[in-house]
Structure 1
Amino acid sequence: MTPTLGTSNPPSPRDAEGITDGDLQPFFVLHKPELCKVDAGGSKRGKARRKIDLHQLSPNSRETAGASPSDAANDPDYGELRMASFNATWSEIECTIQRCMEKMNLELFEEVRGWTFESFDKIISSGLHSVSNTLSPCPLITDGTCRQIFTALILTKNMEHVDDTSTFLDLGEHLVSNGCHVANLSSSSFNAKHGVGGCLKSLLRQLVMGSSETFGMDVLASWYSKKENNGKPVVLIIDNIEQCCGTILAAFISIVSEWVIKIPIILFLGIATTTDALRCQLSSDSLKRLNCFRFSLPSPSERMNAIVGGLFAKPNLSFAVGHDVAVFLRNYFSRHDGTITSFVRALKIACAKHYSVEPLSFLSRFMHIGETEVTFDLESTTPGVSLPDSKLKLAFDLPSCRRGLSKEKSYSEFVQRLIELKKLWRDWSCVLMCLFEVGKISKMQLLDIFCEASAPMAPDSRNSSVGTMPPAKGKLISQAIQKVREISPAVLSCLLDTWAIHTAEIPENLDKVRELQSLLRAVDDDDCSKNQPTKISRRAGGGFYAEIKGNVQVNEKAALFLKQMIREMLKPIESIPFHEIFVFKRVDVLKAVLTGDSRKTIHLDLVRSPSFLRCHSCPSGGKALTRCMHDTTILYQLAQEHGDFVNLHNWYRSFSTILTASPAAAASTPRRKPKAAVPPPSPDVDTASIQARFCRAVIELQVAGLLRMPTKRRPDHVQRLVLGLSS
């Protein structure tokens, strides 16, 4: 890629002398992908070249105009505000995800820490561990039981190891903070190429941290015999044994078992599937050397529930996804690879697209301020400056505001609607979490409940009665209501305790939950007083029936209370005015990024690169090619003037004309077909430099899949592979 981006003059040959093949400049793909259709007519012919129909991607299209990059160019200040809002929002999302993962893993980490020191005490209690025994050159004569290694088998329940790498690192840090020596060994260290020496080298570099020519367990024993290192367990964590070489892992375990008498070593082995994988990797002799205990990490579905509960059910994060996007993210998570990493990546793309496409997304910081501070200053943080009239008109022109609002389109009306949206969003999140607490009993997933709760209601079901659910909200929510009727009093008591936590910010609902709790306690006390062993007879059976009847009444009242909250508070967010400022609904844009055609995307990037890059030397609004543009952009836009095949000689003359022309002449005169003679080069650009840059740009277009290089039949022509849209 040419290094001339953003400069008025290309680099001189003197500056280019120090550039080598290793000094590659980054190639940024800045794009706004859109839907398009592929012409399948060419697929019916035998060796016909592939043609891609891009007419629907024309900038004149109505769908494309809404996301055109020229809007951001005409509004640079708000573009900076949107970028700042995106950075703040995504930073908070990342912190929320990290807190959710730490909260889920903390209980397991504490359990593992307790087991580690319990195992360490058993090792020390044997009386064989002392400084003299550690430094003894000869192995101690003991039975096989003393040579067993205390081993923790940590089941990750995840086929993809990408989610668990950070978990094992966090586990190591947790153990270090509690007084352990920890070494994290990657599965890549246990390969046949490096042998056992690679494992020992990685182990000693983390613990001994010295430059030693020999890598053996005697070095570790000498290090452990020092006063500051003695008296602490040595924990070795292998993140994924299923990716290790079985023979190397068996040899490493054999070596460690010989030294476990002198050094209190404890193994942590990560297993993705089941404990049977350990039998497949190791021989029976190696398995006898391990004294295994089993632990389990949270499953991917449990992690997903925690993340969705921390992100989508919290209105103070300034960002949410619509129903279609939520369904797509759920399917992408379950069908792609089932990893949290891929889900978070797709969520970040959705967040970035929302702030780049929605002009009013910078107002999302409204969720972080109180209801008394409701004005927005676009140049400073001082409240008191109202929204400009242009943006206010744009806000009331949103699709959700075209009906149901008063004719008065004032700033106070806008602020009042935002306050109402914040309150409705809070109530909606409360009902969602109450439903999920019921769904936990039936092992429902929070993302499934979220997708059903966010589904738009049918027009004829918005005024449905309490006893009937809208058709759009039927399966999981109806099952949750029925489950409340069926659960036992003990489970209902725990459920009401969680409901009290989620409804703490809504006093009227909290009062009803407290009333249900007191009613349940009263029924239990009454049942305890009536349920005497001496009254178990056919006549006394009425007391037992009364007990069941009392519990059923409490369950029925709890179910009616849940249905009332659903009817009154679980209104779809996408039906609330001004929700477009906070909710991303462009599922087509997200699909185009995650599963789109990269060749079409690169085509649009190169055609529209001036509007994305906004070079200060390029004329604003002009279509003329200038020498300060990328060489790849210049060549590709010149190729648009040709047909299926591009003559290399004419192409090079046009490229050379642009590079050697003065900036003023290039900006004022339109592109013309070059004459037969090539103009003399400028003093700062020689012919060799132009030829080198031309060849490099052509190769980049070939690598991007936009060109096919010359063949023996036509050695002086290249073939265009993307047709249908001119610059």
Structure 2
Amino acid sequence: MSSGNSVSKGVFVFKNGFKRPSKLSKHRKKEKSIFSDHLWYQSFSSLWRNFEEKLHLINTEIFSSTLKDLVNFVNLTYDQIQSEIPTAALLTGINMPDHEAQFSALTKEIKEYVTPHCVVMRAQDCSSIKLFVENMINGFLNDEDATIEDMYEDYEEEESNYIKKSRCTFAVLQAWYESLYLNNSILNYSDEGSFIRRGAPTCKPLVVIIPDIENFSENVIQDFISIAHSYINIIPFVLIFGVATSLNILHRTLPYHVSSKTSIKVFSSQPSTTYLNNILENVFFSGHCPFSLSGKVFNLLTDIFLFYDLSVTGFVKHFKFAMMEHFSRGNEFSLCTNRNFEDVLDQFKHEDFESLRRIYSFRDLVERESYRNQIKLLEDDDYLKDVVLGKLKELRKYVFHLHLFIRCLHVLVNDLPKTPLGKQVRELYAYATTKNITKSQHFNECFQLLNFQSKDQFTKKLTDIIKILENTTDSIFVAELEGIHSKLKEFLMQLGYIDSMTEITQNFQEQIKIGSASSRVEFKNKLKSISQNQSKNAYEKLREEIVEYLRTIFEKYLVEYSSLHFHEIFFFDDIDIQNQLIGTHRSAIHEALNDPQTYLQCTCCEIRREGAILPTMPDICIAYKLHLECGKMINLYDWLQAFLSILDPTDEEDDDGKRRVDPELQARFTQAVAELEYLGFIKTSKRKADHVQRLTWGG
């Protein structure tokens, strides 16, 4: 029998020592990109790694305050006996794509500092209370990333402690928890002994995180809370609900007989707009990355964020897409890097230098040179290399100063009346990279308003600008800022010595003779002449001097980037990425149905003239093109006859003289009509039973 021979036929399984590896033990090697040998990809990957490192640090800092409060809440819940389930409601906001990062960080913090027993429940995996309980208990008892196949192991093996998901019940959870912390092991799944015991000095709570409570069935949540409350004296549950809308969802989901079994505490995370501003100011506008977006592209990304999804994760992905589009144009864009430009230029071939010569701003550079230098620029790669090297250093310095002085300008203008240049740094950046900001009307208006600032307000702004300059850590360009820094500190010291209420003109009251004005116009002119003739005190004179100095600084460093040669290497200005970032659904569907060869890439659907209908096209495409030829009301019988005339040109008639309809073709037509109705092109008509109404117009 050991050899498998038997009188009756059967299937025999012999164990050969094979053991399915755990998913957590699989470390797949990172596949090497096909572009790894390209210069542009090396520069892109280097810059993006720096971005990711800074984003990780910023995310940790942003979530730290909320996570700290939640972790403390979980840690202190069972310091005393609880008669209700401790529950935390985290108001996350509607930026749904960003919830994943927040709850991942929360899960990691809880497992590291409070309890190793923490599971995250998703609505798509918990359509019923049975699935909810099985997935939750499976997450506590087994590896939460394991599948059912991974769990189905022989319990006779000592190293295997998996429990089948179908056996995950509250009774099993209770026994498992008691075996861990109450030294009362009653599980006997193996033939040799009891369930392996892992003792712990103190009882740890079991944390259940539900990040999307709006998507859960109300009955599932209510039933789970009722069941969990009955085990509260044995199993210390802690619930964390992620609320994207408002707390009203909790009142609707949890009626009184359920909410009375929970003790809810509300926590709030910062709005997504604040999250975006922090990332922009500390990562993208830090001045340490040479890659920048033009005002048009940046406005596109912020508009998508503000009007579509409020997702910072989506904004970062869109930024990365724009970055890939920029670098993938060619090796000449590998010069947009933090590395030494000479090292990159040394790897350039003649074709790469020719690509540099095709950059649009190179033409202006050639036209400004003498005839002899023009020939060198166009033919001598070594001469072009030296010129490009000098221009790139100027560009790198410009990008650094652009980000730095935009933050300084933001300090001055963010709280002015009507905020002509906006309240946020991102608004100011978009303005500065769209046009020459120092020559705009809004810029002049802001500096006029600065001349009316009080001493305390102006001193605070000047102090903040000095702090920004002091916190600048780039050793390459910081030497150029020492003169500006020392001059502003000197102005600040002078402001400290001045009393703004002294040196008021003594004869000012004598100049005002309101009673002598006979009309409103005369009164206005008199006030205007008095304001022009009155002498200024020491503070007003010093304030005017400081404002004029700051204006000069901004005019020097905030020039229009398009005036610099080779600015295309550092600035991405292709607004056509809108077609990739924001899909035009109607035009894409029309293109697919009107010309399926565009997407299918097949020769059988290729049309030689517009409006042609081929029998080899998909049925829905044929029905769609036929419905374009109809009016508002479409007769289904006529539509069917036109459909048959294309697929079955043979005109076979029955005894009544009507066209014979193949049932298979009729079924295909019916399915095509149903698909068009599902897509929203037609709807059934109540006026005529044999007609459908067309919902779209045009071709």
Q: Which residue of 1 is the match for residue 400 of structure 2?
A: 426
Is there any run of 5+ residues in structure 1 with no aligned partner, and where?
A: 1-75, 127-144, 377-381, 463-469, 532-537, 540-548, 618-629, 656-695, 707-720
Which residue of 378, 383, 391 corresponds with 1:417? 391
CA distance, structure 2, for counterparts of residue 96 and residue 237 of structure 1: 28
Deviation at 1:558, TM superposition (A): 6.3
Q: Which of 408, 414, 423 does residue 444 from structure 1 map onto?
A: 423
Shift of 1:421: 1.4
- Structure-2 residue corresponding to 1:388: 353
| Structure 2 residue matching 1:456: 3-state secondary structure | coil
CA drift at 1:281: 3.4
2:128 maps to what in 1?
194
Checking the alignment, whether the CA contact within 8 Å between 1:151 and 1:267 is kept in structure 2 is yes
| CA deviation profile, 1:260-285 (whole Å, cap 9, x unmatched) | 44444333222234445434433345
Aligned to 1:41: none
Q: CA deviation at 1:573?
A: 2.3
Higher relative CO (CA 8 A, sep ≥ 6), structure 1 or 2?
A: 1
Q: What's the C-alpha RMSD, in Å, of the aligned pairs?
A: 6.3
Aligned to 1:221: 177
Specify which of 559, 563, 570 is matched with residue 575 of structure 1: 563
Is 1:186–1:239's contact at 8 Å kept on the other side of the alignment?
Answer: yes
Is residue 496–residue 517 contact of structure 1 (8 Å, CA) maintained in 2? Answer: yes
Matched, 1:238 2:210: yes
Which amino acid in the other structure matches residue 406 of structure 1? E
Matches within 5 A, 1:279-678: 279-310=251-282, 312-313=284-285, 317=289, 319-352=291-324, 354-355=325-326, 360-368=329-337, 369-375=339-345, 382=347, 387-389=352-354, 391-396=355-360, 401=364, 405-407=368-370, 408=374, 409=377, 411=381, 412=384, 413-436=387-410, 444-457=423-436, 470-471=440-441, 473=443, 487=457, 493=463, 496-502=466-472, 504=474, 506-508=477-479, 510-512=481-483, 514-515=485-486, 519=490, 559=547, 562-591=550-579, 594-596=582-584, 598=585
Match of 1:270 in 2: 242
CA–CA separation in structure 2 for the residues paired with 1:362 and 1:614: 31
User: SS state of the match for residue 180, structure 1?
Assistant: coil
Q: Could you report, residue by residue, the CA deviation over 1:641-691 in whole angstroms, capped at 9, with x for unpaired residues? A: xx99xxx9xx9xx99xxxxxxxxxxxxxxxxxxxxxxxxxxxxxxxxxxxx
Deviation at 1:322, TM superposition (A): 1.6
**1 CA distance for matches of 2:389 and 2:600?**
35
Amino acid at match of 1:364: F
Q: Output one character per residue of 1:110-148: Cα deviation in whole Å (capped at 9) or x when no partner.
A: 34334443x15x61xx4xxxxxxxxxxxxxxxxxx7313
Distance in structure 2 (CA, Å) of the matches to 1:522 and 1:576:
37
**Contact 2:336–2:570 (CA<8 Å) still a contact in 1?**
no
Change beyond 3 A, Cα 1:302–1:607: same
How far apart in 2 are the matches of 1:588 and 1:484? 46
Question: Retained in 1: the 8 A contact 2:332–2:356?
Answer: no
SS at match of 1:167: helix
CA-to-aligned-CA distance 1:297-320 (integer Å, 9 cap, x gap): 221111211232355425654543
Q: Whole-Å Cα distance in 2 between the matches of residues 304 and 254 of structure 1?
A: 40
Quote the sequence identity (%).
Answer: 17
Unpaired stretches in structure 2, ≥5 consecutive residues: 1-33, 143-162, 182-196, 417-421, 504-536, 604-615, 631-639, 648-670, 682-695
Amino acid at match of 2:213: I
Q: Is the 8 A contact 1:516 1:558 kept in 2?
A: no
CA 1:177 to 1:483, structure 2 compared with 1: closer, same or farther past 3 Å? farther
TM-score (norm 2): 0.59
* 1:230-256 superposed Cα distances (whole Å, 9 cap, x missing partner): 523433222133444445434433444
- CA deviation map 1:556-578 (0-9, x unaligned): 77655543332111123233222
Deviations 1:522-572 (A, max 9, x none): 579x78xx99xxxxxx99xxxxxxxxx999888777655543332111123
**CA drift at 1:394:** 0.7
2:345 aligns to what SS in structure 1?
coil
Judging changes above 3 Å, is the alpha-carbon distance between structure 1 residues 188 and 177 closer, same or farther for their aligned structure 2 residues? same
Q: Structure 1: how far apart are the matches of 2:261 and 2:423?
A: 41
Query: Using the alignment, how far apart are the partners of 1:172 and 1:499 within structure 2?
Result: 39
SS of equivalent to 1:301: helix
Partner-residue secondary structure (3-state), 2:270: coil
* Greater mean alpha carbon deviation, residues 292-301 or residues 424-433: 292-301
CA drift of 1:607 comes to 12
Is the Cα contact below 8 Å between 2:297 and 2:575 reproduced in 1? yes
Q: Give the length in aligned residue pairs.
A: 555
Instruction: Map residues 37-116 of structure 1 onto 2, 5 A cutoff.
Output: 93=51, 96-116=54-74
Cα-to-partner distance string for 1:351-381 (whole Å, 9 max, x where unaligned): 45x44xx9855323213222443515xxxxx
Once residues 582 and 603 of structure 1 are traced to their aligned partners in structure 2, the CA distance between those partners, rounded to angstroms, is 38
Amino acid at match of 1:147: S
1:267 aligned counterpart, secondary structure: strand
* Corresponding position of 2:108: 173
> Would you say 1:155 and 2:91 are equivalent positions?
yes
Rounded to whole Å, the distance in 2 between the matches of 1:86 and 1:111 is 38
User: Do the aligned residues in 2 keep the contact of 1:325 with 1:587 (CA within 8 Å)?
Assistant: yes
Change (3 A) 1:522 1:485: closer
| Larger Rg over CA atoms | 2
CA offsets, 1:326-352, max 9 Å, x none?
223222222223222443454445445
- Distance in 2 of aligned mates of 1:114 and 1:305: 28
Q: Which amino acid aligns with 1:235?
A: V
Tell me, in whole angstroms, the C-alpha distance in 2 between the residues paired with 1:609 and 1:415: 49
Q: Is the 8 Å Cα contact of residues 291 and 336 (structure 2) preserved in structure 1?
A: no
Deviation per residue, 1:17-42 (Å, 9 max, x gap): xxxxxxxxxxxxxxxxxxxxxxxxxx
2:97–2:314 CA contact under 8 A, matched in 1: no
Q: Within 1, Cα distance between the matches of 2:239 and 2:304?
A: 36
SS in 2 for 1:163: helix
Assess if the C-alpha contact under 8 Å between 1:235 and 1:265 holds in 2. yes
Name the residue aligned to 1:252: 224
Helix, strand or coil at the partner of 2:239: strand
The Cα offsets for residues 168-223 of structure 1, whole Å up to 9 and x where unpaired, read as 112101221225224343351797x513x443323211111132342445245335
Query: Residue type matched to 2:106 in 1?
Result: L
Structure 1 length as normaliser, TM-score?
Answer: 0.57
Q: What is the distance in 1 between the residues matched to 2:41 and 2:357?
A: 22
